[in-house]
Amino acid sequence: MSSLRIGSLLIALALVNAAAARAQDGPFFVTYSHYLEEPGNLEVALSNTSGMPRGDRAAYSAPWLELEYGVKGWWTTEFYLEGVSARGDSSGFSGWRWENRFRPFKSEHRINPVIYVEYESINEASRIQKEIVGAGPLSFEPIADLRREHMHEIETKLILSSAISGWNVSENFIVEKNLTANEGLEFGYSVGVSRSLGGLASGTSCRFCRENLSAGVELFGGLGTSQEYTLNETRHYLAPVVAWRVSDRSTLKASTGFGLTDASDHYLLRIGWSYELPLRGRR
């Protein structure tokens, strides 16, 4: 646990020392901003969520692959494949997702809305926690048993994002519907603030320049269901995040999420790497 505390302290120090910024895609894992993928670009990303539950429950790891493509300047589509593995248990495939984000207004505004629609074909073993909705802790039954419980879900988000003096401030409101069970609507949220650690690009090739580093913090969790309006047994996390643009095409990012309620895990550790491939000319 001492290494986690040290890592979280370093992230907090980075936030305190943040300077002017340039507008760019943020370092978040959960919160979405209004920045979409460049038209004609394919981004390939590998990420992992490692959870450290409370009590004597086993730690787990949930990797996922993202393929994000800029269809138009106002439309980005993304495909996910995810898996899961638990210590002392089994591992396996936990499902796939197809996400679409639409930006109705082309120019920058004080508040930039984005409409998000996702179809999910997953099972109860899914633990990547790209979003948290509803109420109740994760299920810690054997992975093999959870994988037998399959779900089809539709998830929508209203994304509101603002660029303010180099800062990005984003708010996401989530509504999810399980199409295979009568669970009503499940609600969730995420809020994120981030900025670059440097000013304008220096004009020289430099991997460790401050303008290639960004940091922030996001808060996310569940807000109950349409059948039970309560915050009891809901999960909430506060997560400092950092990102390093290693090159013009690749980015590394990391996050430590601290569970704020008894239903939450103690920690969620995330790490991700992405690489952009221009498939056609930009327009």
Report pLDDT digits (tens) over 85-100.
999 999 999 999 999 9
Q: Per-residue pLDDT tens for 1-53?
A: 444 443 444 444 334 333 333 334 679 999 999 999 999 999 999 999 999 99
Percent of the chain clearing pLDDT 90 (strictly above): 78
Look at residue 263 and tell me if it is in a domain: yes
pLDDT of 75 strictly over 50: yes
Look at residue 143 and tell me if it is in a domain: yes
Q: Which of 253, 247, 252, 255 is nearest to 217 (CA)?
A: 255
The rounded distance, in Å, linking the Cα atoms of 176 and 184 is: 9
Q: Please state the domain count of the chain.
A: 1
264, burial (CB in 10 Å: exposed 0-12, middle 13-18, buried 19+): buried
Question: What are the angstrom distances between the C-alpha of 223 and each of 28, 119, 128, 173, 232?
Answer: 20, 20, 19, 10, 9
- Residues in CB range of 123: below 8 A, 6 or more apart: 94, 95, 146, 147, 148, 149, 150, 151
Which domain CATH number covers 30? 2.40.160.40
Look at residue 283 and tell me if it is in a domain: no
Residue 33, φ and ψ in degrees, nearest 5: -105, -175
Q: Which of 240, 256, 207 is nearest to 18 (CA)?
A: 240
- Per the structure, the complete domain to which residue 193 belongs is given by 2-278
254, burial (CB in 10 Å: exposed 0-12, middle 13-18, buried 19+): middle
Summarize the confidence of residues 253-275 as an average pLDDT. 97
245 confidence band (pLDDT: 50, 70, 90): very high
Structure tokens at 280: 């056609």
The rounded distance, in Å, linking the Cα atoms of 66 and 108 is: 27
Single-letter residue type at 110 = R
| pTM (global) more than 0.85 | yes
238 confidence band (pLDDT: 50, 70, 90): very high
The per-residue DSSP string of 84-152 comes to EEETTS-EEEEEEEEEEEE-S-SS--SSEEEEEEEEEEEETT----SS--BSSPPP-S-HHHHTTSEEE
The kind and range of the H/E element at 187 are strand 185-196
Angle, vertex CA 176, rays to CA 240 and CA 77, nearest 5: 70
pLDDT of 279 strictly over 50: yes
The rounded distance, in Å, linking the Cα atoms of 161 and 150 is: 33
Chain-centre distance for alpha carbon 191 = 11
